[in-house]
Structure 1
Amino acid sequence: MKILSTSIFFFFIFTFFTHAQLPNVSIHIQSPQKNNAVAYLIISNLISGGDTVARTSLNAQGDGSLNFHLNQPTFAELTIEKFQFTCFLSPDDNLKVIVETNDKATSIQFSGKGAEANNYLEESSSVFNKHFNVGGKQINEFAPEEFTNSLNKMKNALDEFHQSFIQKYPLPEKTSKLLEISNQIIPLSFKHNYISARYNTTEGRMSIPEFLEKVYGEIPLDDDFLNAKYSYYGWVLKEYYDNLCFALLAQKTPDGKKIPYAAFPEMLEKMIKNGNYSKAMTECLLAINIYDALNQGLTSGTMSVYESFKKEYSHSIYQLPLDKKYQKWITISKGAAAPNFTGVTPDGKKVSLSDLKGKIVYADIWATWCGPCVEELPKAKEIQQKFSEKDDVVFLYVSIDSKSTNWKNFLEKDPAFKGTHINISDDTEVSKLYKAYQMSGVPAYFLIDKEGKIITATASRPSSGKVEGEIRALLK
């Protein structure tokens, strides 16, 4: 009898947990013009893009279903081929989506349980588009004051739309709150992008007009919205974090020097932990800090905050994307084979990194449109000149200019700019280079030994004063 009771107990436990993970959300898709296409649903993880939670292939009539499990209301991106739109989903939703496409536009119709919230998003998107395109121009092309005025009009229009919609179609209180915050986030995200594009230097941040600078105090640091995984919110939180970084850039050490980048991860960790944030928001900002630090490689500061986070938040939802980022660095750590890439010289010959095996290679990834890249070149030429008699040292300059004529013209104006020059203009190949070496942008520098193995995928900049010594150490 005791054995039977125990068996029944475990049966109910198994049944409970199995049932708890059964799909409780369904999206039924009808898209006649997208027959045989693949449809998938992505939920943002807020720090590194999104995770695909459901996927299906539409049949010959363009029909298909996505079924998955949700624990709480969530924003998601539904993608059918190249067409993507934001939707809002709650547990037990049973949503029908009809997508009609022609040469001019794509229309979406929602019905079933959960339709009202998604109709809200579609209508609010129309309000946004109406106020984003003004007089044949996009408002981000305007001067700061005109841009701010236009953005305020957009915000007011979105607020009015929200009140009108909720009166007509009453929604659950939490759903209404999350949708209202999403309307606030859209103008904020464009305000952040505008600031980043126009004032993206330490000096630039110091000159942001006051009416624009207030944006950082307008960000709703809301736990419910954080848990709803709105992708735009991830972008805004990253901009919020970047503003913390710029605050550090403006500070000086006791002897009047700039704070070194290597110290940023641990200093930002301390700043975030001492901030007046909720536990969930602290966890998210710390994860953003680590993910950003991992763009610079596995430095001692990065490893310190990474290991600290793993201990303090052992079951964090952000741990998986952080671990993936970390593991990618392991594949290009010291001693690993350097991923190969190929470019074209000014006279049209193909040169690959593998062709230079047997030589020490200092690779400088740059572009003519990149100000910091060009600023480093005079110092790079000085260092290169010191090794001009060394046949076993190569300075490899890899341009990623999409228009190779710009690169060629740049080199023609500076015939004294020696070294091995190649250009990778194809976007796909540039993307492969970025992924292979975990690049977050240019300039980027790699140091590779004579066996074609990585010394470091985050080599020092020419202006650091360290490059000559690092190369000479390999010649001993």
Structure 2
Amino acid sequence: MKAQHYILFLSIFTLNSFANTQVHITSDSLSKEPIFAYYQILNQKIALDTAYFNETNSTSLSFEGISGIKEIWLDWGKTTINLLVKAETEISVNIEFKNSSQPKIRFSGILGEVNNYVRQEQDFFRNFRYKEKKYFEWDKDELTTGHKLIRDNLEPKRNSFFAKEDLNQETETLIREILNANIFLFEFIWTPNLFSEASNYSSDVKVANSLISRIEFDNKLLHTNTINYHGILSQMLRLEFFKFIVLLPEAEAKTHIVPFLNRISEFPYNEEFKEYLKASIIHEFSNALSMKDWEELLSLFEVEYGKSYYYSILKKRHQELIELNRDKPAPYFEALTVNGTSTAISDLKGKWLYIDVWATWCAPCIAEIPYSIKLQKELADKKNLLFVFLSIDQDKEKWLNYLAKQTELTALNLNMSNQEAITNFYKSYDISGVPRYILIDDKGILIEHNMTRPSESETLKRLKGL
């Protein structure tokens, strides 16, 4: 069964000022798998509690260490549920599968209907994406019109719903901001045409400014740790960073990170937001820089914020990178060749592997292809080196059609189209996005989980020395 992701938001009834936060769960599905509860900050998982279903198919999670309203995650087998909980309160949630892979989830309690409504909006977005078959082919004008239709459709329903709910002003405002963040994410991140145009090192400042002008810089919203809101802040940072380097398109982005961190200090936001934004950009570049370069950024952050909570999160990330880069066998994966035969990473021992993880829909990936071809030609005499192009296109026909047109893209071409396999591959190699380049030695040992790109001069020097 494919992994399921449900975005569920719940605010819950306060019992007393000293109780732990509790989530009570019942289900009609017998399972011996544990439920893990955690929250995320800077894409790091902070564990809260673990529980097992009892003989009546019910269980409870109890934890402390959070304040206010926070988004937490529940991982149960291949099901992932996101929910907002309020510190020192409790909520009950019922999950019914009824022999279906799509469970029915209902909330009870003082704000249960709020959570059910938020789920309805999430379903609306999901259905819209798949109902509109040409959605991903819309141009900017069509996207603008489509997004207006979405807002026009949701706004009266939302206003009508809140008019019937007995919420205090502070809670209603926060929930509305969370709902707006969901729409934001739908518009600017789930829309490849607009997203790639705005983020592909372009000078489309109009799109960037339109996004930034609509973001709520609210500390209470920041503290909820909702993944959609933090995702929007990350998108804003990317757009600001691309605007920052647009006048120097030939320079490598990494040379501008420190000046950009200084630029963040000048943003018209409060100090807590500036600290978070700096930590966020440093964390994001942990997947784009060498360990040495990233450690230099971490040291700079320590000087300014060494006692902050975000520094402790970055240190946790640092330890993960140290463990990942220790000499150990490359995590197992397998993919299909152009002819449809299966190839496993273990089948390729005996040669060094420079793996290019890419997709036809990824503009930065495609931009690197000419450099990859040039690199292969320059290293044609390296018989102990194999170039592997691993596509994560779920549409295999688009992958095959691209290869048919790109006749110089020789070497070993593989495709991984199964979503669950891609998710596991991403986790194993600590990948947050493509392109990604991986170096594995001839004994199958992972040497670099985040190797330099073909366009970088260091890559040719490194591969020549193998």
Q: Does 1:121 align with 2:115?
A: yes
For residue 24 of structure 1, report the CA deviation from its aligned partner.
2.4
Between the two structures, name the one with larger relative contact order (CA 8 Å, sep ≥ 6). Answer: 2
Alpha carbons of 1:182 and 1:39: their partners in 2 closer, same or farther (altered >3 Å)? farther
> Do 2:279 and 2:314's aligned partners in 1 also have CA atoms closer than 8 Å?
yes
Q: Deviations over 1:34-57 (max 9, x none)?
A: 344657474543420643423322
Alpha carbons of 1:227 and 1:60: their partners in 2 closer, same or farther (altered >3 Å)? same
Which residue matches 1:24? Answer: 20
For residue 128 of structure 1, report the CA deviation from its aligned partner.
6.2
Structure-to-structure mapping, 1:49-448, within 5 angstroms:
50-69=45-64, 70-78=66-74, 86-102=82-98, 103=100, 106-111=104-109, 115-116=110-111, 118-126=112-120, 129=123, 137=131, 141=135, 143-154=142-153, 156-157=155-156, 160-161=159-160, 163-166=162-165, 169-171=166-168, 173-194=169-190, 197-201=193-197, 202=199, 206-207=203-204, 214-252=210-248, 257-333=249-325, 336-337=327-328, 339=330, 341=332, 343=335, 345-346=337-338, 348=341, 350=343, 352=345, 355-357=348-350, 359-402=351-394, 417-424=409-416, 427-448=419-440
> Do 1:238 and 1:288's aligned partners in 2 also have CA atoms closer than 8 Å?
yes
> Do 1:249 and 1:258's aligned partners in 2 also have CA atoms closer than 8 Å?
no
Which residue matches 1:8? Answer: none
Which residue matches 1:14? Answer: none
For residue 289 of structure 1, report the CA deviation from its aligned partner.
0.6
Partner Cα separation in structure 2 for residue 329 and residue 441 of structure 1: 16
For residue 68 of structure 1, report the CA deviation from its aligned partner.
1.9
> Do 1:44 and 1:50's aligned partners in 2 also have CA atoms closer than 8 Å?
yes
Partner Cα separation in structure 2 for residue 420 and residue 131 of structure 1: 38
3-state SS in 1 of match to 2:455: helix
> Do 2:37 and 2:73's aligned partners in 1 also have CA atoms closer than 8 Å?
yes
> Do 2:34 and 2:77's aligned partners in 1 also have CA atoms closer than 8 Å?
yes
Equivalent position amino acid for 1:67 in 2: S
Q: Deviations over 1:428-468 (max 9, x none)?
A: 55445434443333333334556666664443433334443
For residue 296 of structure 1, report the CA deviation from its aligned partner.
1.1
3-state SS in 1 of match to 2:431: coil
3-state SS in 2 of match to 1:45: strand
Alpha carbons of 1:196 and 1:300: their partners in 2 closer, same or farther (altered >3 Å)? farther
CA RMSD of aligned residues (A): 4.0
3-state SS in 1 of match to 2:196: coil
Q: Deviations over 1:30-81 (max 9, x none)?
A: 33x1344657474543420643423322223222222222432333345666
For residue 279 of structure 1, report the CA deviation from its aligned partner.
2.4
3-state SS in 2 of match to 1:187: helix
Larger mean Cα displacement after TM superposition, 148-157 or 100-109: 100-109
3-state SS in 2 of match to 1:463: coil
> Do 1:24 and 1:68's aligned partners in 2 also have CA atoms closer than 8 Å?
yes
Q: TM-score, normalised by structure 1?
A: 0.76
> Do 1:34 and 1:80's aligned partners in 2 also have CA atoms closer than 8 Å?
no
Partner Cα separation in structure 2 for residue 465 and residue 429 of structure 1: 32
> Do 1:41 and 1:55's aligned partners in 2 also have CA atoms closer than 8 Å?
yes
Alpha carbons of 1:35 and 1:207: their partners in 2 closer, same or farther (altered >3 Å)? same
Alpha carbons of 1:40 and 1:177: their partners in 2 closer, same or farther (altered >3 Å)? farther
Alpha carbons of 1:175 and 1:324: their partners in 2 closer, same or farther (altered >3 Å)? same
Q: Deviations over 1:319-366 (max 9, x none)?
A: 454334323332454x83461545555564746467443x54433334
For residue 22 of structure 1, report the CA deviation from its aligned partner.
7.0
Equivalent position amino acid for 2:54 in 1: N
Which residue matches 1:6? Answer: none
Alpha carbons of 1:465 and 1:35: their partners in 2 closer, same or farther (altered >3 Å)? closer
Equivalent position amino acid for 2:23 in 1: I
> Do 1:354 and 1:452's aligned partners in 2 also have CA atoms closer than 8 Å?
no
Partner Cα separation in structure 2 for residue 86 and residue 431 of structure 1: 18
Partner Cα separation in structure 2 for residue 310 and residue 200 of structure 1: 33
For residue 223 of structure 1, report the CA deviation from its aligned partner.
0.8
Alpha carbons of 1:42 and 1:415: their partners in 2 closer, same or farther (altered >3 Å)? same
> Do 1:363 and 1:397's aligned partners in 2 also have CA atoms closer than 8 Å?
yes
3-state SS in 2 of match to 1:29: strand
> Do 1:77 and 1:86's aligned partners in 2 also have CA atoms closer than 8 Å?
yes
Alpha carbons of 1:412 and 1:121: their partners in 2 closer, same or farther (altered >3 Å)? closer
Partner Cα separation in structure 2 for residue 351 and residue 136 of structure 1: 32
Partner Cα separation in structure 2 for residue 51 and residue 438 of structure 1: 17
> Do 2:44 and 2:317's aligned partners in 1 also have CA atoms closer than 8 Å?
no
Equivalent position amino acid for 1:164 in 2: A
Q: TM-score, normalised by structure 2?
A: 0.77
3-state SS in 2 of match to 1:126: helix
Partner Cα separation in structure 1 for residue 131 and residue 59 of structure 2: 38
For residue 282 of structure 1, report the CA deviation from its aligned partner.
1.7
> Do 2:390 and 2:413's aligned partners in 1 also have CA atoms closer than 8 Å?
yes
Gaps of at least 5 residues in structure 2 are 1-15
> Do 1:154 and 1:187's aligned partners in 2 also have CA atoms closer than 8 Å?
no
> Do 1:27 and 1:94's aligned partners in 2 also have CA atoms closer than 8 Å?
yes
